[in-house]
Amino acid sequence: MLQLAYTSLACKPFKQADLLKLLQQSRMFNAQKDVTGILLYKDQSFFQVIEGEDSVVQDLMASISKDYRHNTLTTLYTREISSRNFDLWSMGYVNIDHNHLDLDGYDNNEFKFPLQNLQGNLSELVNIATAKKLVITFSKREPVPELKASVNKRA
Ligand SMILES: Cc1cc2nc3c(=O)[nH]c(=O)nc-3n(C[C@H](O)[C@H](O)[C@H](O)COP(=O)(O)O)c2cc1C
């Protein structure tokens, strides 16, 4: 299995509705293909981790890198994994744009986000070392009970 992390810049600011549409589309595909991961959005930028079978991850990355909605895609790392970090998530999602964090599936009260107070977009903030820290931060977090069904089944 492969795990891949990248950052990119959205061509225009994503509204909440745009993000939801992207998430719905992604979760449906990811559930079918057994892809898991997380997507962060901040200041018109994305950080995403995807994991799954090698060829599936490679094909998905080929599609994602052609997507007209973003550009300046930088792969931070690709690594072989024997177990997943996001096995509960077809695509966990965090919007860091608001003062009030929008944590789709994460428990807001327990959660302290390491990038919340930093200025700038994710392409500037996240390097390989930060990417690995973020993966550990979000890894294996249980979906909050009321979201568990929708997060996993909507997927
Ligand atoms: C930031 C970003 C993240 C995306 N993440 C996923 C994803 O996790 N899974 C997915 O199926 N599509 C994702 N997409 C959508 C793909 O780029 C693409 O639209 C989708 O795979 C369909 O591709 P196709 O038209 O080549 O079949 C993402 C798009 C963007 C802009």
Question: Mind listing the pLDDT tens digit for each residue in 37-53?
Answer: 999 899 999 999 999 99
**Could you tell me the distance, in angstroms and rounded to a whole number, from the CA of residue 63 to the centre of ligand 1?**
6
Compute the mean pLDDT over every residue in the chain, rounded to the nearest whole number. 83
| Span from the CA of 26 to the centroid of ligand 1 (angstroms) | 6
The pLDDT of residue 96: 79
Q: Give this prediction's pTM.
A: 0.87
In one letter, which amino acid is 107? Answer: D
- Which residues does 7 contact at the CB level (< 8 Å), separation at least 6? 45, 46, 47, 73, 74, 76, 122, 123, 126
Q: Is the CB of 22 under 6 A from ligand 1?
A: yes
pLDDT grade for 141, boundaries at 50, 70 and 90: low
Q: Which domains are assigned to the chain?
A: 2-154 (3.30.70.100)
pLDDT at 6 over 80: yes
Average pLDDT over residues 4-27: 93
Question: What pLDDT is recorded for position 84?
Answer: 92
* 3-state SS class at 5: strand
> Best substitution site from 25, 50, 56, 104 to test ligand 1's pocket, by max atoms within 8 Å of Cβ?
25
The span from the first CA to the last CA of the chain, in angstroms, equals: 20
